[in-house]
Structure 1
Amino acid sequence: MVTRRRFLKGSLAAGAVALLPWVPRVAEAATLRIRPSWSTFCASEMFPVYIEAIRTMQANLNSADPASWSYWVDVHKNFCPHRTAYFLAWHRGFLFRLEAQLRKVAGNSNLTLPYWDYYTNPVMPVEFTDPASPLYVLNRRNTDVTAALALDAFADSVVNFQSGLVNAFESTLESLPHNPVHNIIGGAMGSVTVSPRDPIFWLHHANVDRLWAAWVSAGNGRTMPPKSDTYWKGSFVYGAALPTMARTWAFDTLGLGYQYEDGSMPVALPAPPPPAPVSAVTMQAFSSTLPQALVMTLGSGQPLALDERSVTIKVPLDAAGRSTVRSLLLRQPAKGAPPAVNSSLRVVLDGVRLTPLGKEGGFFHKLYINLPTTPGLSQPESRYLLGTLGPFEITSMLNHERLHGGKMHADNDPVQLSFPITDALREIWPEQLEVLTISFVRMDNGTPRKGRVITVQELRVDASDPAAMPAM
């Protein structure tokens, strides 16, 4: 860990590398800047420089100019990959380009982006809640992101990197905590198309980038595709006013000339504030009939409305359905095949929409399959967790279809979301297959506004033959 004293002394030159716990692995880094934690950054001479640079960029109304704040909002809307490969690498380049622009606007080559380590302090820094500051934006729903945090991405079993592989860090980190932090804060942060408008976006993504670097450094079987791999061929785009960036530039932070004040993965979650939400690590006596939960049987075409309550959906299986599910679960996964080939069972949500209240954010739902009903059980939640659902996931899908499917969506158009369940069912192997239960567990700050936030036209379980699916 780089100490606060070392950072405050401004040890930015290559000669300071000897003071750090590791040295650059690549030759591109002529100097090594330190991206500090927010608390360190606020105590440094760079803090007022940063504030004025942001204020200047926000005052620039030319969205075609990289010196304007809106330029970066548009770049994220038009080029960012979510729910797909390069989510982490593209955003690393995005931060790197913005950081360079901040230095240019400030006229100070020592300025770096800080990060918000919400695993240490889950409450948004107070400087972002001052209405007189350029760090403040209207309509945030929450400033405490405790309910958004999880340790799933840092488990020893998560050894692969890129989306599309089993036990993949990139997709696991995107699902938790990346998306839920966006959802819990809400406001602009809850929508993929405008989230960079909120200055907390940049601290959030700097922390996501830091967690990626920490995962790589942790070793213990964790594997990145080597720089020579075809995965790194090609380039990233950051708007018409800036040159493209070779993907290899984002291979690690040291090649870009920076590292983080703290290079370690989180090992514990912050204590939840009262009233305590459901544990993000284990479940004690966690039932599919949660207190104040709705228990429903969803028929074909029957709509579902999600509000401030948790909901369990029962999906009955007839004799043919039970036979199909057992057959697919007993089939051996194809060795080395991407998960999509082996994930033959999926929960599909069709016609998903946000309500006006839902667009404000401040919440998300965790989706589980077959939560146990026996009191006293204690199992990792990852055994049952399928993913998360909130404003950011829905707007991400809308934007993904616009960018990659050529579909021009309005903000209230419906989308389809699917969640693979094959691996989870193989892991828990339910004794009874007459009914599958899908639980939507509401996560928020403990004092939610009441009302519908998400509507789903139809929930169904799809089964497909993996042998008939195309290889990816």
Structure 2
Amino acid sequence: MLKIYAGAVGTMMATTQSNPGSPLSWLFQWYTHAIPNDRTKAAELARIYPNASDPVRALANKMWNTCEAHRNPAREDFFFPWHRLFLIYFERIIRQVSGEPKFTLPYWNYTGPSPQNRILPVQFRSSGDAAWKPLFRPDRNRDTNDGVPIDQISGASPIDIKAMKSIVYGQTTGDAGLCSNVDNNPHGSVHGDVGNQRGMGRVPWAANDPIFWLHHCNIDRLWASWIKAGGANPSSPGFKNEKFTFADSNGALVEGSVGSVLDLNDLDYDYDRYIDRPPGSPPFPSKLTVEVFAIRAVARRVSGPVTLGASPTTVKLTTQPAPELNFQGIKKDLSVQLQSLKEDSVFYLRLNDVNASAPPDAGYDVYLDPSGEGELKRSESAYVGSLSFFDVAPHDEQHEAAEPKGKGRNYSFVVTDRVRELQKEGRLSREPNVTLVPTGAPSEGSAPRIASVSLVSS
């Protein structure tokens, strides 16, 4: 399948040179995801399609720069289905270009247990091989192309599947939801670990790298695994009836609805194996509970806006009332609150409105109440997850579809085991700390920040 893929990518790249306006060209598919930030959509449409009445230009105008949900965090729930539709139609184009009707897009299994799983496959690093050269891109982190596991590169973010602990698909007061949490890690972490400023590490350039498609195929597999384990997709008409425009294998306009791709049984593909939810995952609630999910008891400890830098940042959380949750009588002693909760209560550490002025090119490891003795390590129980800043900053100030300013993304980590451990040790009678440790030095002027940090129980 990789040989077929490499040959088709080479053909599509050649088409970019001879007929860049073809929907079957590499450029057209790349631009569907996002326009590079050194050019504009209007200028590229005019350059490639000088005839304003060209019907393919109209198709390009509808398709290009439409990736969800890079430009509007409020549309985060469409992240999974938009990319699934993108993969489906792209796979069909590969079949058409290659003449191989049974071609199946592979996935990159970087979520596997071995460090070897996180080495970029050699076929994508073989710049001197005639057969594999179309899969090579120089615009990656150098160590990535040298065969170093991407999570072991200096400054890299860890890659994990902690997001699968989420019990709901979309945003709630407690759980930020599978979709948002996967978008953070492993999705954003892999992008940043592989790429650079003109590669996978930047939204406008990411889809030019052939590994992009295998990366998103694994993200799709993770979503399918979560559903197979008992998770539920949104059922609202507003979600299921949303439609997106793509090109079919003949380059003609086609519309795909979200509802048509939510169940793999309705599609023509399956995965050879699925991913188990990690240990400590809370059980999925009933359908009724999902629809009326509410906070039953809150230990909400909110900081002010937190600006992160090149050294660890510690936030001391103080108990405050949360009137917007309609929960009265919050006591100031967290340990007393814990005693009143049910044994099956789930605890979340929420990072709200994660934002930056420019891409930081660094992530942050998140620790809940570390002991403070020595260097913090991901192997200790205080480590609860990592924060990727992929796609939390505007792509380009002049970009026509630049993201809404001042509003970032929300992420959460299930920290029930950590809270219970602290409770057992008698350490929750005081104010716990959240410490964020950078994986590398953030870019100058990027100003990565979090509007609030909260500990919530449900």
Q: What TM-score, normalized to structure 2?
A: 0.61
**Residues 113-132 of structure 1 aligned to structure 2 (within 5 Å):** 113-120=105-112, 121-132=117-128
2:369 and 2:382 in contact (8 A); partners too: no
Q: Judging changes above 3 Å, is the alpha-carbon distance between structure 1 residues 268 and 193 closer, same or farther for their aligned structure 2 residues?
A: same
CA distance in 2, matches of 1:224, 1:399: 39
Question: In the alignment, which residue of structure 2 is the partner of 1:184?
Answer: 193
Counterpart of 1:150 (choices 160, 167, 176) is 160
Question: In the alignment, which residue of structure 1 is the partner of 2:68?
Answer: 81
Deviation at 1:371, TM superposition (A): 3.2
SS of structure 1 residue aligned to 2:393:
helix
- In the alignment, is residue 108 of structure 1 matched against residue 100 of structure 2? yes
Deviation at 1:452, TM superposition (A): 4.3
5+ residue gaps, structure 2 = 35-64, 152-156, 282-302, 323-329, 339-345
Q: 1:92 is matched by which residue type in structure 2?
A: R
Q: Judging changes above 3 Å, is the alpha-carbon distance between structure 1 residues 210 and 403 closer, same or farther for their aligned structure 2 residues?
A: same
CA distance in 2, matches of 1:50, 1:69: 10
- In the alignment, is residue 95 of structure 1 matched against residue 104 of structure 2? no
Aligned residues between the structures: 358
Deviation at 1:214, TM superposition (A): 2.4
2:184 and 2:390 in contact (8 A); partners too: no
CA distance in 2, matches of 1:226, 1:159: 12
Q: 2:123 is matched by which residue type in structure 1?
A: E
SS of structure 1 residue aligned to 2:357:
strand
Q: 2:107 is matched by which residue type in structure 1?
A: Y
2:189 and 2:390 in contact (8 A); partners too: no
1:191 and 1:395 in contact (8 A); partners too: no
1:313 and 1:439 in contact (8 A); partners too: yes
Counterpart of 1:431 (choices 421, 428, 433) is 428
Question: In the alignment, which residue of structure 1 is the partner of 2:309?
Answer: 305
SS of structure 2 residue aligned to 1:210:
helix
SS of structure 2 residue aligned to 1:119:
coil
Deviation at 1:167, TM superposition (A): 7.2
1:398 and 1:415 in contact (8 A); partners too: no
1:159 and 1:167 in contact (8 A); partners too: no
SS of structure 1 residue aligned to 2:180:
helix
Q: 1:183 is matched by which residue type in structure 2?
A: G
Counterpart of 2:357 (choices 347, 353, 356) is 353
Deviation at 1:175, TM superposition (A): 1.9
2:162 and 2:278 in contact (8 A); partners too: no
Percent identity of equivalent pairs: 23
Q: Judging changes above 3 Å, is the alpha-carbon distance between structure 1 residues 366 and 59 closer, same or farther for their aligned structure 2 residues?
A: farther
SS of structure 1 residue aligned to 2:118:
coil
CA distance in 1, matches of 2:95, 2:400: 34
- CA offsets 1:56-95 (integer angstroms, 9 cap, x no match): 3443562x43112222222222222235102111100011
- In the alignment, is residue 72 of structure 1 matched against residue 71 of structure 2? no
1:122 and 1:145 in contact (8 A); partners too: yes
Q: 1:140 is matched by which residue type in structure 2?
A: R
CA distance in 2, matches of 1:250, 1:111: 19
Counterpart of 1:441 (choices 423, 434, 437) is 437
Deviation at 1:423, TM superposition (A): 7.9
- In the alignment, is residue 394 of structure 1 matched against residue 399 of structure 2? no
- In the alignment, is residue 223 of structure 1 matched against residue 231 of structure 2? yes
Q: Judging changes above 3 Å, is the alpha-carbon distance between structure 1 residues 304 and 384 closer, same or farther for their aligned structure 2 residues?
A: closer
1:161 and 1:169 in contact (8 A); partners too: yes
- CA offsets 1:278-323 (integer angstroms, 9 cap, x no match): xxx9xxxxxxxxxxxxxxxxx99996533xxx512345x7xxx655
Question: In the alignment, which residue of structure 2 is the partner of 1:55?
Answer: 13
Deviation at 1:369, TM superposition (A): 4.3
CA distance in 2, matches of 1:234, 1:440: 37
Deviation at 1:97, TM superposition (A): 1.2
CA distance in 1, matches of 2:15, 2:384: 41
Q: Judging changes above 3 Å, is the alpha-carbon distance between structure 1 residues 376 and 193 closer, same or farther for their aligned structure 2 residues?
A: closer
Q: 2:208 is matched by which residue type in structure 1?
A: R
Q: What TM-score, normalized to structure 1?
A: 0.60
Q: Judging changes above 3 Å, is the alpha-carbon distance between structure 1 residues 48 and 459 closer, same or farther for their aligned structure 2 residues?
A: closer
5+ residue gaps, structure 1 = 1-40, 270-280, 282-298, 332-338, 408-413, 464-472
Q: Judging changes above 3 Å, is the alpha-carbon distance between structure 1 residues 126 and 66 closer, same or farther for their aligned structure 2 residues?
A: same
Q: Judging changes above 3 Å, is the alpha-carbon distance between structure 1 residues 51 and 440 closer, same or farther for their aligned structure 2 residues?
A: same
1:139 and 1:186 in contact (8 A); partners too: yes
2:164 and 2:278 in contact (8 A); partners too: no
Q: Judging changes above 3 Å, is the alpha-carbon distance between structure 1 residues 381 and 392 closer, same or farther for their aligned structure 2 residues?
A: farther
SS of structure 1 residue aligned to 2:222:
helix
Deviation at 1:196, TM superposition (A): 0.5
